[in-house]
Amino acid sequence: MTQTVLHIDSSIRAEGSVSRALSQKITSRFEGATVLRRDLADGVPLIDGAWIGANFTPAADRTDEQKAVLATSDAMVAELQAADVIVIGTPIYNFSVTAAMKAWIDLVARAGVTFQYSETGPKGLLTGKRAIIAIASGGTPVDSEIDFAGRYIRHIMGFIGITDVEFVKADSLGNGGDEKIAEANAQVDKIAA
């Protein structure tokens, strides 16, 4: 059975981005897969009052205008639903995710669509999927007390039901960057498709 890989990049750098290079290399490990591509640097709308109103209107009651407001979000959710594997390339900017990555999260974390509330708390609806996160930083060590990107992405993935999450780290590149990139590339070489 052919796998579907959703490849997402969020670095604003088109050239020279470590997270983009790593995410591309990870995606290429899945030979023969159907690849869906989403480059968040191309622009991601921010949620606003109209979006909230449309999102919380029952689907059957939405106006054409509300459907149009949700169109990008619906497309992004459909990509996640279709994917067996989600590959995300993200740098750490100012200790957290990029603005575009945060906007994408806001658009896909939808009650009743990608998660639901239950008597025991929120329950993710996108189960049975795998996520591989290529994360790069100039000075922030991933998984440290000042990393608000990696831990946040892991939490969000789990929140929407994706608990099989693996990180490929090229962090603190300002201190031994070539060596850390080589280590990250070696880690990618060991990823099972």
CATH (domain of 165): 3.40.50.360
- Residues tagged in the binding site annotation for FMN: 11, 17-19
Q: What residues are paired with 136 via a beta bridge? A: 91, 170
**What pLDDT score was predicted for residue 85?**
98
35-55 residue pLDDT tens:
999 999 999 999 999 999 999
**DSSP line for 136-182:** E-SSPPTTSTT--SHHHHHHHHHHTT--EEEEEEE--TTTTHHHHHH
32: pLDDT strictly greater than 80: yes
Range(s) of the domain holding residue 92: 4-189
Residue 62's pLDDT band (boundaries 50, 70, 90)? very high
- Count up the domains in the chain and report the number: 1
Which whole number is the average pLDDT over 26-42? 97
70-102 residue pLDDT tens:
999 999 999 999 999 999 999 999 999 999 999
Which whole number is the average pLDDT over 98-118? 97
127-142 residue pLDDT tens:
999 999 999 999 999 9
161-182 residue pLDDT tens:
999 999 999 998 988 788 999 9
The label of the residue with tokens 């997402």 reads 8
Q: What is the amino acid identity at position 79?
A: E
- Chain mean pLDDT for the chain: 96
Token representation of residue 25: 């290399």
Neighbour-count burial of 122, counting CB atoms closer than 10 A to its CB (0-12 exposed, 13-18 middle, 19+ buried):
middle
Which whole number is the average pLDDT over 143-172? 96
- Residues tagged in the binding site annotation: 11, 17-19
d(CA 75, CA 144): 34
